[in-house]
């Protein structure tokens, strides 16, 4: 059955720019009642909450914020692969809500040598299992390089919050803490659950004396990049958000229907988005929002997108366009410079301003050391 669905879906994939529908994007600056949004006050009081509710109801579902107690059990480990330069903390974060509890595992590397609390980079990890330093796969999570540059860096595996599997995804925090979310059309799903996990990691960073949680970076690649963007729209504590090749339901504009579409993603991963999102299968034109509104919700905090040229499935042009258009909130509402003067076709290399950045590199889908090193140049000039 899965093979059948995938074959059907693949046959509908469009990679031809001339077949992309004319873009009619909902306005960032006109409220649902037709009011013109031309000031920070109106954006924050009217339009931003409207757009947030649309994403919550129609796309990702709620991220419940309530629980009764959180505690951290820390095991400090030596004899790990970065022992010479970093201390490893394996943290069991225990959350209680009423009678129910859930434990998630977070791995934190801290530089051995530091003069002041270190800035922190968190990677939402859906690839390597979170056991020890071995989840630091080449390139994908370059622990040694990050430590050498003076960052603390942490990661948790998606599985520790909500397994990335249609049969098992509710086995994490959904059943353990928030079972009432399971029946809602706008209830918590996997992308939101991973975001909840990132928030609990932030709770740990905030009380850690060796970490400067004000200098925080949230990173996600692909499905985790979708999750990172929704997380930062929910949680203003993240200073910088980096979505690498996050594609459909992440950085890319859905209404372009280029590469992966809403229908394809909902069929392949029915446990990622809210039930309501399925209404838009094959009907992207009726979406009351698009993904350019997601970086706009994160403004004025820094946002960075990256694409790769062979990853047409994720629609690199749609990723650039959404940031370019979303950056209007940074420039018009928050008076920040937008670095996106060039069209996608005119780009010659990475572009960034103090709070917005984008790069596209040669090669295939993946988070590589090349991506990190360009992104880190951006980070270093944000603060
Ligand atoms: C693909 C999916 C993409 C992206 C990717 C990944 O199969 O279609 O949306 O999330 O997985 O996470 O690597």
**263 CA distance to ligand 1 middle (Å):** 14
> Predicted confidence band at 5 (pLDDT cuts at 50, 70, 90)?
very low
Strand partners, 83: none
The predicted-structure confidence for 59-70, as pLDDT tens digits, reads as follows: 999 999 999 999
Q: Which two tokens stand for residue 151?
A: 């960052």
Which one-letter DSSP state was computed for residue 36? Answer: B
Nearest-atom index, ligand 1, CA of 265 = 8
The predicted-structure confidence for 118-165, as pLDDT tens digits, reads as follows: 999 999 998 865 455 555 667 899 999 999 999 999 999 999 999 999
Ligand 1 site-directed mutation target among 10, 189, 191, 222, most atoms within 8 Å of CB: 222
**316 CA distance to ligand 1 middle (Å):** 14
The per-residue pLDDT for 151 is 98
Compute the distance between CA of residue 358 and CA of residue 367 in angstroms, rounded to an integer: 14
> Predicted confidence band at 12 (pLDDT cuts at 50, 70, 90)?
confident
Task: Say which residues have a Cβ less than 8 Å from residue 367's Cβ, sequence separation at least 6.
Answer: 139, 140, 221, 222, 244, 245
Q: What mean pLDDT comes out for the span 285-311?
A: 98
Compute the distance between CA of residue 169 and CA of residue 159 in angstroms, rounded to an integer: 8
Nearest-atom index, ligand 1, CA of 226 = 10
Using CA positions, which residue lies closest to atom 13 of ligand 1? Answer: 222
Closest C-alpha to 139, from 351, 364, 353:
364
Indicate the pTM of the whole model.
Answer: 0.96
Question: Does 286 score more than 90 pLDDT?
Answer: yes
Question: Does 8 score more than 60 pLDDT?
Answer: no
Ligand 1 site-directed mutation target among 158, 166, 247, most atoms within 8 Å of CB: 247
Catalytic site residue 222? yes
Residues in the chain: 383
The pLDDT mean for the chain works out to 95
The per-residue pLDDT for 327 is 98
Q: How far is CA 118 from CA 1, 108, 114, 147, in A?
A: 49, 12, 7, 10
The per-residue pLDDT for 138 is 74
Q: What SS3 class is residue 180?
A: helix
Residues 167, 170, 175, CA angle at the centre, nearest 5°?
A: 140
Compute the distance between CA of residue 198 and CA of residue 348 in angstroms, rounded to an integer: 34
The per-residue pLDDT for 129 is 59
> Predicted confidence band at 10 (pLDDT cuts at 50, 70, 90)?
low
Higher pLDDT, residue 64 or 9:
64
Catalytic site residue 18? no
Question: Does 4 score more than 80 pLDDT?
Answer: no
The per-residue pLDDT for 3 is 45
Give the pocket of ligand 1 (CB within 6 Å).
Answer: 222-223, 247-248, 260, 265, 268
The ipTM is 0.97
Of the listed 222, 224, 322, 338, which one is catalytic?
222
Closest C-alpha to 223, from 19, 74, 365, 70:
365
Compute the distance between CA of residue 304 and CA of residue 109 in angstroms, rounded to an integer: 23
Nearest-atom index, ligand 1, CA of 247 = 9
The per-residue pLDDT for 198 is 98
């Amino acid at each position: 059955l899965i093979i059948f669905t995938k074959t059907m879906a693949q046959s509908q994939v469009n990679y031809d720019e001339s077949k992309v529908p004319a873009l009619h994007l909902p306005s960032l600056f006109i409220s649902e009642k037709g009011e013109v949004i031309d000031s920070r006050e109106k954006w924050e009081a009217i339009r931003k909450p409207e757009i947030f509710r649309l994403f919550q109801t129609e796309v990702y579902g709620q991220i419940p914020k309530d629980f009764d107690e959180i505690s951290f059990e820390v095991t400090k480990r030596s004899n790990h692969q970065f022992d010479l330069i970093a201390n490893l903390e394996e943290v069991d974060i225990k959350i209680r809500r009423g009678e129910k509890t859930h434990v998630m595992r977070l791995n934190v590397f801290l530089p051995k040598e530091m003069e002041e609390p270190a800035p922190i980079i968190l990677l939402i990890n859906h690839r390597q299992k979170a056991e020890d330093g071995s989840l630091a796969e080449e390139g994908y999570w370059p622990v040694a390089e990050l430590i050498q540059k003076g960052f603390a860096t942490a990661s948790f595996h998606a599985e520790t919050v909500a397994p990335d599997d249609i049969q098992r995804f509710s086995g994490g925090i959904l059943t353990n803490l928030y079972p009432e979310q399971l029946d809602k059309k706008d209830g918590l799903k996997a992308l939101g659950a991973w975001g909840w996990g990132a928030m609990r990691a932030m709770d740990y960073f905030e009380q850690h004396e060796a970490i400067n949680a004000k200098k925080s970076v949230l990173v996600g690649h692909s499905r985790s990049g979708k999750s990172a963007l929704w997380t930062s729209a929910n949680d203003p504590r993240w200073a910088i958000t980096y979505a690498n090749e996050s594609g459909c339901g992440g950085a890319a504009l859905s209404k372009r229907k280029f590469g992966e579409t809403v229908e394809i993603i909902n069929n392949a991963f029915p446990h990622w988005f809210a039930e309501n999102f399925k209404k838009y299968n094959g009907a992207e034109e009726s979406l009351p929002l698009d993904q350019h509104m997601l970086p706009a919700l994160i403004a004025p905090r820094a946002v960075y997108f990256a694409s790769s040229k062979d990853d047409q499935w994720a629609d690199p042009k749609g990723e650039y366009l959404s940031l370019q258009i979303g950056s209007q909130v940074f420039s018009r509402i928050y008076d920040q410079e937008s670095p996106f003067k060039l069209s996608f076709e005119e780009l010659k290399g990475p572009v960034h301003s103090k709070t917005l950045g984008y790069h596209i590199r040669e090669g295939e889908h993946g988070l590589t050391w090349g991506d990190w090193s360009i992104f880190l140049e951006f980070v270093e000039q944000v603060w």
